Every structure is written in C-alpha cells, then in structure tokens.
Amino acid sequence: MLITGRSVVITGVGCVTPIGTGVEGLWDGLRARRSAVRQVTRFDPEPFSSRVAAEIEDFQPQDHMEKKRARRLDRFSQLAVAAARLALRDAELAPEREDRDRIGAMMGSALGGVSFAESQAEVFRREGIRGVDPALALAVFGGAASCNIAIEFGLSGPNSTNAMSCASGTIAIGEAFHAIRDGRADVMLAGGAEAPLSPLCFGAFAIIRAMSTRNDDPATASRPFDRARDGFVMGEGAAVVVLEERSRAEARGGPIYGEVLGYALTNDAHHMTAPRPDGRQAARAMQLALDDAHLRREEIGYVNAHGSSTPLNDPTETRAIKQVFGGHALRLAISGTKGYYGHALGASGAIEAAICALGLKRNWLPPTINLSEPDPACDLDYLANGGLDGAPEFVLSNSFGFGGVNACLVMKRP
C-alpha cells in the first residue's frame, strides 16, 4: 500500500571532495574560503586549452574499505562507497542492525566509470585483451555506484543510479526523498560520485570550449557570476546523504541536519550544452519544488545556485531566479560554491545539498569566492563578501545540467 506525506530528514552526511573529506573536512574547507583548483597533475594537460582542475589529493580507498574490495572497484565506485560509509557513520546508523529490505541507495553520475574504461583502452592497445582488467565489464556502467553501495552494506531496498549530467546527484536525492515520503523505503543513501579526470574525458569538454582557460591563476579560474568568468573547472568527488523517515530518526535518537521538503525536475528541451535563454524551465523547476514543499516564494531565504561559472549559465540562472521570486529575489542570499571545488559534474548537486544540510545545522552558509567584479547581468546578492551568518529556515538548491536538465531541492532547518 502506498503511503504518502511522510516527513523525510537528513541524518548523515558523507563526502570526499577536493577541499576536504568527511563532515569536518568539508566544513573546514568551506570556512577557509580557499579554492582547491590547481594545475592538472593526474595526466599531462599540455595538449588542451584548459589545464586546471580540482583534484582530490589525499584519497586512499583502503581507509574506507578492505584492500581487496578497493582493488575490484574503479575510482568512481571507490568514491561512492567511501562517501556512503562516511554518511552512515555520521548518521550513527548500522545497517546490519536494521531491516535492510527497507534501506536503499540512489546515486547520480554523469560519466560513471568512463575514465577507467579509457585507461583500459590504453592497456588493450598495448597488451591486447588478456591485459585488460576483468573488473572493466562491471565497473564502466553508471549503476556501479548504487550497486556497489548496496553490496558493501547489504542494502536490498530501492536502488538506481541516474546519468542526467550535472543534475544527477540532485535527482538521486530527490527521487530517494520521494521513495521515503511515498512509503517505498524508510532509509535511503543518496548522492553522486564522479571521477572524470582522464585525458579523453577532460579533453572532450575542452574541445567544446566549456572549461576555463585561466591557466595562469588556477585558484581563481572558477568564478561564478563574475564578469571575467570563462568556463567551468572540472573536479572530482562524491557526496552521500542519509535520508530517513522523521519519526524513525527521532525514535533512535539520530542526528538531524534538516528536512527535505520538496523536489522537482524539468527539461529545457532546447540544446545539449546551452541553457534555454529565457530560463523558463529552470524557473519552472524551482517553482515546482516550492509547490512540492508547500512553500511561498517569500519563505525561501537562501539559494545554493548551480553557478557553473560559464558565460551562459550564470546570467540565465539569475534570470530564472528573478522569474520565480520577483521582488523577493533582491532580498535572497545566493551563493555559487563551485569556486571552492570546481564542477564535479554528476556529483556537484550532491555536494551542494550536503553543504546546505551542513550549513543549516551549523547556522552558516558559504560565500561565492572569486567574485571580484559581478557581471551586470548577474545583479543579485551572491554573498561575495562573506558567508551568511544565521541560516534561514528554508533553502533551495539548484542543479542545471547539459541536455537541459533542471533539478531543484528545498530543505528546512532542523
């Protein structure tokens, strides 16, 4: 029987990002107000016009799983499993002591294991098929993220991984929220994982001139809403949140970061890389998320913007925010946090949802770093001079991706 209207709270946050790992690592990275973008070291970037990225420098998979298990997973799946473990630990939730038929996993990733496949293609050219890692067949598909989380923790509830470009992580959290609200699960691990830093994947985005070429000053290359922005900066990472039915979380005394109230998904149906110029479908996604949350636009106090630092996205998102919020848009606090950690594609929305949850709990939301001269077309309050002290009661998180995908989440302070 379908049950509707159940309250859903966030009880755990797990993340592996270029600015820090775990709740405290992420928080310290945000408070430091410094970018993790550097010259690419994972491969030789010299052939490309863009040569900067946000790499995770200290990730050791064996810190989060058995060595034998880690060897069977590519980096994308390692990041997913690591973030899930951190989230469960943070939630003080032990799946083996729960009804695991009622616990599921939903993840998002734009590229899945494509980077691993790229490395194995090189092996194939050198050594033939006998040299290829047998794990390739099951590592390359996007579903490896949620499936490996399920295997690692024995979760037999709803399971899926979507590949809806840069909105993937947000979609995963939104769909997991609906699964609990509708009674199909009691607990969900949801988020995104991305490990795209390999020559072919990186070069593919360089070819279409989507990425910043600010190679002489990497730390300021990702600069959402700034007049001098010239493209996004590729990053890697993973974030997973534990979503739980409220009464269940309260009964076990679990920590509560906030409540997920609304989620919506639309498509521009316009172009594979360029957003719809009028921002209408992005605005509709925001409005539908507000409707799902049963909130008036004036009740939102903060927006974590997609803020990709591309010439087209940032003014279009500004235009969409104005359409939804009208005069209230001038009173909104808004920040684009990709200046810190770049754009981890399908993981970005999950990282940003985790930031919102953490900020709501700790009563501070981060600024837009590297915003030194606002674009006249981006004329709202993007918290350029510092973060927001005193988190509002309701926040909105936006993720807009290639293919015209628009996904939005609404969250409430605990």
Q: What is the 3-state secondary structure (H, E, C) of 123-192?
A: HHHHHCHHHCCCCHHHHCCCCHHHHHHHHHHCCCCCEEEECCHHHHHHHHHHHHHHHHHCCCCCEEEEEE
CB 92 within 8 A of CB 52: no
Q: Say what the pLDDT of residue 3 is.
A: 54
Integer distance in angstroms from the first to the last C-alpha of the chain? Answer: 29
Mean pLDDT, residues 216-223 taken together: 98
Pick from 96, 64, 55: which is nearest to 83 by CA?
Answer: 64
Q: What is the pLDDT of residues 19-37, one digit of tens each?
A: 999 999 999 999 999 999 9
CB 167 within 8 A of CB 349: yes
CB 181 within 8 A of CB 246: no
What are the backbone dihedrals phi and psi of residue 299, each rounded to the nearest 5 degrees, phi first? -80, -20
Q: What percent of the chain has pLDDT over 90?
A: 97
Pick from 409, 398, 401: which is nearest to 306 by CA?
Answer: 398
Pick from 1, 186, 179: which is nearest to 101 by CA?
Answer: 186
Q: Say what the pLDDT of residue 1 is.
A: 39
Report the relative pairing of strands 394-401 and 405-412 from DSSP bridges. Answer: antiparallel
Q: Which residues pair with 343 in a beta bridge?
A: 234
Domains present along the chain, CATH in parentheses: 8-252 (3.40.47.10), 262-412 (3.40.47.10)
What lies within 8 Å, CB to CB, of 369 at 6+ separation is 33, 34, 35, 339, 340
Going by pLDDT thresholds of 50, 70 and 90, the confidence category of residue 141 is confident
Q: Say what the pLDDT of residue 5 is.
A: 81
Going by pLDDT thresholds of 50, 70 and 90, the confidence category of residue 11 is very high
Describe the crossing of helices 144-153 and 75-91 by its angle, rounded to 10 degrees. Answer: 50
For residue 342 the two structure tokens come to: 């770049």
CB 392 within 8 A of CB 301: yes
CB neighbourhood size of 107 (10 A): 39
Q: What percent of the chain has pLDDT over 70?
A: 99
Q: Is the pLDDT of residue 142 over 60?
A: yes
- Exposed e or buried b for every residue in 208-239, given b needs 16+ CB within 10 A? eebbbebeeebebbbbbbbeebbbbbbbbbbb
Q: Is the pLDDT of residue 133 over 70?
A: yes
The chain-wide mean pLDDT, for the chain, equals 97
Q: Say what the pLDDT of residue 373 is.
A: 97
Q: What is the pLDDT of residues 37-79, one digit of tens each?
A: 999 999 999 999 999 999 999 999 999 999 999 999 999 999 9
**Can you tell me the distance from the alpha carbon of 42 to that of 367, in angstroms, rounded to the nearest whole number?**
29
Pick from 350, 341, 337, 254: which is nearest to 302 by CA?
Answer: 337
Check 64, 306, 356, 408 and give the catalytic one: 306
Report the relative pairing of strands 300-304 and 333-335 from DSSP bridges. Answer: parallel
CB 346 within 8 A of CB 165: yes
**Can you tell me the distance from the alpha carbon of 294 to that of 135, in angstroms, rounded to the nearest whole number?**
46
Q: What is the pLDDT of residues 356-375, one digit of tens each?
A: 999 999 999 999 999 999 99
Pick from 26, 225, 236: which is nearest to 116 by CA?
Answer: 236
For residue 201 the two structure tokens come to: 């994947």
Check 15, 64, 147, 166 and give the catalytic one: 166
| C-alpha triplet 304, 185, 242: angle, nearest 5° | 40
Exposed/middle/buried for 393, CB within 10 Å: 0-12, 13-18, 19+?
A: middle
Pick from 340, 14, 344, 286: which is nearest to 166 by CA?
Answer: 344
CB 210 within 8 A of CB 202: no
What lies within 8 Å, CB to CB, of 393 at 6+ separation is 299, 301, 412, 413
The three-class DSSP label of residue 35 is: coil
Assess whether 306 carries a catalytic annotation: yes
Check 64, 178, 201, 343 and give the catalytic one: 343
